[in-house]
Amino acid sequence: MLIKLTHEVGDRGYSMARKPVLFSSLVKPLKAWWQKTFFAVGIAACILFVIMDRGGVDHVKEIRINLTDAVLPITQTIFHPINSISNFVDDFKNLNQAREAVKVLEAQVRDLQEELIVTQGLMIQNRRLKEQTNFVDFPDTKIITGRVVTHSGGPFLKSMLINIGEDNGARLGQAVISEYGLVGVIVEVTSRFARVLQITDINSQIPVVTENTRDPAIIKGDNSRFLKLKFIPNDSLLAVGDRIVTSGHGGLLPPDIPIGHIAEIDGTSVLVSSLVDWDRLDYIRILDYRFADDLSQYLNNSSD
């Protein structure tokens, strides 16, 4: 008989289960060999997956979308109680400051009411001028509001998942804004969620202009807090503090969405500080810019 069986006696003095000693001595090296082989296969498979994902292979995209739809509700459920407690504690902490905040807000409301009267006058004037000059405006932009679900805090990439999916009107290429300015662009959509590539990501490039001088440029992320302004015209007169807004060139993003202020100019290197408060980014808004749809339809038709 190949497999020798031994009779072991346990600590308590009575007989224990019989162990096939030779069998286990055969299995252990095999298991170790399999684990080493599987390790190498695993690394190779992962590298292949990264290349395929980068290459935009449709199957990998589908897998990613399906997995996102499956995993996110679970993670949300797991962290729901923790987030609720955290929010409750935050609310409790802020309770002391509520009275002062109300006073500040009341003062702001008074100021804004005064500004509103001026703004309403300017709007009427603006509408009349548009009518007189037969100005062709961009179509109205619909706004969809949602919340940030996950937010990557690593240096590898800057993206976030939001709870607005295809079912709620999210589509690829739409601009996502906060109350302060542009957050990013939608790069992946599932039925219930969408992934936003932040403007600070290394892969983000957006056509912009300086608000006052209208100098065109491209704003680029590099995974850090600052953005870089590239392809600036040689004769442009930039200054620290200048506001940068979207140009609307290319038709994907609406024009004049604020992005940031020039923070530093060092020769040809121009750094821009984003207006978005990344530390407290909770609610976001998607701009359903219908001009982008019209443009893509037109381009598709003309290519056919």
Helical axes 21-54 vs 58-94, angle rounded to 10°: 90
For residues 1 and 231, what is the distance between their CA atoms, to the nearest angstrom?
Answer: 80
Nearer to another protein, 159 or 210 (CB): 159
With binding defined as CB under 8 A, does residue 46 bind another protein?
yes
Residue the block writes with tokens 């392809």:
231
User: Which position among 138, 180, 278, 291 is part of the footprint of another protein (CB under 8 A)?
Assistant: 278
CB of 87 to another protein, least distance (A): 8
Q: Tell me, rounded to whole angstroms, the distance of Cα 47 from its chain centroid.
A: 24
The CB density around residue 258, as the number of other CB atoms within 10 Å, is 17
For residues 87 and 127, what is the distance between their CA atoms, to the nearest angstrom?
Answer: 44
CA-closest candidate to residue 143, choices 283, 302, 304: 283
With binding defined as CB under 8 A, does residue 91 bind another protein?
no
User: Which position among 157, 232, 263, 265 is part of the footprint of another protein (CB under 8 A)?
Assistant: 157
Please identify, among the stretches 69-77, 105-113, 135-143, 174-182, the one whose residues bind another protein according to the rule CB under 8 A. Answer: 69-77
Nearer to another protein, 37 or 297 (CB): 37
Residues 218-237: x/- map of binding to another protein (CB under 8 A)?
A: ----xxxx------------
What are the residues facing 245 on neighbouring strands?
209, 258
Torsions phi, psi for 258 (to 5 deg): -65, 140
The residues that touch another protein, with contacts defined as CB under 8 A, are 35, 38-39, 42-43, 45-50, 53-54, 60, 63-64, 67-68, 71-72, 75, 78-79, 82-83, 86-87, 90, 147-157, 159-161, 188, 195, 197, 202-203, 222-225, 278-282
